[in-house]
Chain A
Amino acid sequence: MTPAFLLAIALAAPRAEPQATFAHEAGWIVLTLTHGEQPVGDALIQVYDEAGAMFASGETGANGRGQFPLPRGDSFLVEFKIGDRTADPIRITSTPNGPFPGEVLLSFGLAPCCRVPSGGWAAPEATPGTNWLWPTGLAGLAVFGSAALVLLFLGPRARNS
Chain B
Amino acid sequence: MTPQRGFFFDADRCVNCHACEVACQAAHGLSPVTHFRKVVEVWRGGFPEVTHTFVSISCLHCADPPCRRACPVGAISKLPEDGIVVVDRELCTGCRECYAACPRQAPQFGADGVMAMCDLCLGLGSMPACVAACPADSLFSGAMEELDDLAAKRGGKTIGGTEGPSMYVAHHGPELPIDALVIGEGDTVRHGGPPNRRQGG
Is B a genuine binding partner of A?
no
Q: Name A residues whose Cβ lies closer than 8 Å to a Cβ of B.
A: none
Interface residues of B (CB under 8 A from A): none
